[in-house]
Amino acid sequence: MKKVCIFGGTFNPPHIGHLIMANEVFHALNFDEIRFMPNAKPPHKESTHLVTGEHRIKMLELATQPFPYFQVDTLEIMRGGVSYTFDTMQELQKREPQTQFSFLIGADMIAYLDKWYKIDQLVEHFHLIGVHRLGYQGEQAKYPVTIINAPLIDLSSTLLRNRLKERNDVTLLIPENVQTYIRQEKLYE
């Protein structure tokens, strides 16, 4: 059975922290594939600074290009509306019944799992994987979450959007091909 981990988020923009997290989980748990899935409208975040789904898909395609085990899945963007993890995972399972799916979250989300839509059904059917993040303790999860230790990088898309808006340097923080795309499309200005 194929083992696939879904990595959902806004990816606004994608950065090296996302890639490191996914790479660590891929190798630690022997997945066949990590799928980055940008959401249409996040249920737990303010989406006022969200660039279009098309731009986020393109940035993810560029960021993941060097890694054959990383893929981009556009399911939530194409479906539109609020992106609830349970609905997405159910749809994936119907689409690919021979695949074992897991879902990757940052440690910052673990504390909020009790607020997630249909969380009890989600953890009953799908494996959740958490990655440590500075300032968050994943071990305090109320739900079963496998915690993976990865190099800790204090980096957020919010910080990067602010740097880009102020035309400050993001070298090494965002893959070069993604930076080029952001400049060409005048994103986050």
Q: What is the pLDDT of residues 59-86, one digit of tens each?
A: 999 999 999 999 999 999 999 988 899 9
Predicted pLDDT of residue 110: 81
Residue 98: CB atoms within 10 A of its CB come to 7
Rounded to whole angstroms, the Cα distance separating 108 from 136 reads: 6
* 123 vs 140, higher pLDDT: 123
Q: 0.75 cut: is pTM over it? A: yes
Is residue 97 pLDDT above 70, yes or no?
Answer: yes
Written as one string, the DSSP assignment of 16-85 is HHHHHHHHHHHHHTT-SEEEEEE-SB-SSS--TTPPPHHHHHHHHHHHHTT-TTEEE--HHHHH-SB--H
Count of all residues that appear for the chain in the document:
189
pLDDT tens digits, 146-169: 989 888 788 889 899 999 999 999
Report all structural domains of the chain as residue ranges with CATH numbers, in order of start: 2-185 (3.40.50.620)
CB 37 within 8 A of CB 75: yes
Percent of the chain with pLDDT over 70: 93
Residue 153: CB atoms within 10 A of its CB come to 15
SS3 label, residue 6: strand
**What's the mean pLDDT in 124-129?**
94
Q: Which of 10-19, 107-116, 171-180 has the lowest mean pLDDT?
A: 107-116
Sort 58 into a burial class: Cβ within 10 Å, 0-12 / 13-18 / 19+. Answer: middle
| Mean pLDDT taken over the chain | 90
Predicted pLDDT of residue 134: 60
Sort 151 into a burial class: Cβ within 10 Å, 0-12 / 13-18 / 19+. Answer: exposed
Predicted pLDDT of residue 107: 74
pLDDT tens digits, 171-185: 999 999 999 999 999
Give 91's DSSP letter.
H
For residue 175, which of 71, 60, 69 has the smallest C-alpha distance?
60
